[in-house]
Structure 1
């Protein structure tokens, strides 16, 4: 039986043919086609960047080298910048995002002014225990959100409005620039609805701000 377009095997073969290191590239390509989040001169932070497919698409989306821009990937594994579709604007850092101080992340951005686009493709090591895996995925998503907007904003928009001690320095501020875009991948679970509801007031204030939460079920064929 032949495997047609849209099947995992098809996307795997297409990724190889086009020089992408993983078929997950097609999901970001699809998002780019629909929303054009990454543009000439954008500064992009890719959390959980292994194996590098989203680094490739992000760099491609910046346009020619002379257009400027930057792509920074962070992963707990050491990730080599792919040779295809990437150039000198791409760098990777081996670090645990869960323990990386906000200011160290900000220092990786151009002029230390933060990023215009943050991508989170972080995924826990799947144990097969659905509830545990979903909780870990949600925790990673929360970390991405925390890095993006900062503890001060999260505290102000918390469901119960519980006061949170916030430091006076910039470490409590997020690394996503005003008007920036955030993409988070989460495992399919009951947490997604709650996550969307929590994020909605943070990312629908302005028309040029976009949050996309991708349930894993929607991208299973592209991993």
Structure 2
């Protein structure tokens, strides 16, 4: 990192977080209480691991149980600081990952090294109580392209979380853009999502017109949906987060 490190970068180094992005989730946690002791947390796009650290810190003592599963297209080593044995990571492409494989990583099946064979997937797995998506495309500098790729990743997170509920809502939503509707409706199947009823979902997006469609799709599915631009976000960034609380279905 060139130049003078900013406040959050210095604080991350001082406190042992692997990236300044830890403070984004810390702020969300303080404001919305997303992660509670014993939660089962799925972290999509978990590299370099800062959100794994914050999530684990909020699971409470080991006796409370809980699990944090991180998935990233890069191989991510669990940070030694702020993490314990409840944190696991998987190297996989979220865009091509079947829901049943993701569900098989939830607490009932969280003792794993790699994905179990399909025949061994236990359909009784409960899913996750919290899903975090900090996924972001490789920024090209072309605003419209970057926003479209970000929306695609965001819709994948919604689809994994709520499954056919999102598909039903998008078919009823005549105001959604054709591109956004196509993304979510084509990826949704008859399988339920991996987010438990009453669970919470956080999605990172790049600001664009399509951002409004996320509110239209998610608000009917959750008790509350709020937008937040964390204080730790760089001034030049267009990142914004949708915090969805209390899945209704």
Q: TM-score scaled by structure 2?
A: 0.77
Alignment match, 2:244: none
Using CA pairs under 8 Å that are at least 6 residues apart, name the structure with larger relative contact order, 1 or 2: 1
The 4+ residue runs of structure 1 with deviation greater than 3 A are 164-168, 210-218
Q: 1:219 to 1:179 in 2, by over 3 A?
A: same
Q: CA 1:32 to 1:22, structure 2 compared with 1: closer, same or farther past 3 Å?
A: same
Matched, 1:149 2:162: yes
Q: Which residue of 1 aligns with 2:234?
A: 220
Shift of 1:174: 0.2
More helix by share: 1
Aligned pairs for 1:87-166 (under 5 A) are 87-111=84-108, 112-150=125-163, 152-158=164-170, 159-160=173-174
RMSD after superposition = 2.5
Aligned residue number for residue 210 of structure 2: 191
Alignment match, 1:3: none
Deviation at 1:167, TM superposition (A): 5.6
Match of 1:20 among 8, 17, 21: 17
2:114 alignment counterpart: none
2:34 counterpart residue number = 37
Q: How many residues align?
A: 208
Residues 37 and 217 (structure 1 numbering): CA distance in 2 closer, same or farther, change over 3 Å? closer
State the TM-score, normalized to the length of structure 1.
Answer: 0.86
Query: Any idea what SS the aligned residue of 2:160 has?
Result: helix
Structure 2 stretches lacking a partner, 5+ long: 109-124, 176-180, 240-249
**Structure 1 residue ranges without an equivalent (≥5):** 1-6, 205-209
